[in-house]
Amino acid sequence: MKKLAFSILFVTVMLLSACKTENQKKSIDVPDDKEKITVSEVINGSTYSYIKGINNNEEIWVAIRKQAIEIGKDYYYSEALAMKDFHSKELNRTFPTIYFLNSISGESSSKTNFHHAPKMEKPSTAKIEVDIKQTKGFTSIKEIYKNKSQLTNSIIKVKGKVTKFNKNILNRNWIHIQDGTEHNGNFDLTITSNQNVSIGEIFEFKGFLVVNKDFGAGYKYDVILEQAEVLNNSKNQ
């Protein structure tokens, strides 16, 4: 009986020791609040690198702003935004689930400088010198931020110079405009659309104004113009 009790105790100690070793190993290999993926396949599109790999014994797909990724190497990331049934137009492929990443690194240290994908946050650029002639029926950026509670969920038209354009992120295009007006330091308006625009040109848009939009993973906007239609554009102010 004593031999049996000793055997049980010995096995228990060994299991606890193994678990402790495994936990110690995990804390070294994977920083807090980071995920790890071992890359098995990479598909480079014109904008994104689509990466297949193993995460916690499961096969997953992630996407990051196009960059050099090595097959067989371990990478670390955080702030993954899961998208279900995501269709990539540039690959003509639908992913049942894919995780869009803000940053990725080949180093496990929490002090690592990560390669960042463009974040869809405002302000996207520094304030530029622009003077857009106000047109009847259009709402200025100043008016949008000043009266956002009254304008929320309404269809409005805006006009501004494009300062940033990101194509096909989360199955939509992301546009930033400025019109020379501002309210409490807010001078930049984010717009989502399925149409293309050119940086530096002046465009007119019509869309739904949404307030306090949260896409998750830190993508939160005080105001955003969604499902916008490009009305016309002019290279001249």
pLDDT at res. 41: 95
pLDDT at res. 45: 85
Of residues 236 and 83, which shows the higher confidence score?
83
Which of 121-125, 186-190, 231-235 reaches the highest mean pLDDT? 186-190
pLDDT at res. 1: 52
Residue 123 has pLDDT above 50, yes or no: no
Lowest mean pLDDT among 114-118, 137-141, 160-164, 171-175: 114-118
Residue 65 pairs in a beta bridge with: 48
Question: Whole-model pTM?
Answer: 0.51
Please report the sign of the dihedral spanned by the C-alpha atoms of residue 35, residue 40, residue 41, residue 42: positive
pLDDT at res. 216: 66
Span 152-185, pLDDT tens digits: 888 999 999 998 898 887 778 899 999 999 999 9
Residue 143 has pLDDT above 90, yes or no: yes
Ordered structural domains, the chain, with CATH? 32-116 (2.40.50.140), 141-234 (2.40.50.140)
Residue 125 has pLDDT above 70, yes or no: no
Please report the sign of the dihedral spanned by the C-alpha atoms of residue 130, residue 136, residue 142, residue 144: negative
Of residues 172 and 79, which shows the higher confidence score?
172
pLDDT at res. 90: 79
| Sequence-separated (6 or more) residues with CB below 8 Å from residue 100 | 62, 63, 64, 80, 81, 83, 117, 169, 170, 217
| Sequence-separated (6 or more) residues with CB below 8 Å from residue 118 | 65, 166, 169
Instruction: Please tell me the distance from the alpha carbon of residue 41 to that of residue 195, in angstroms, as a whole number.
Output: 31
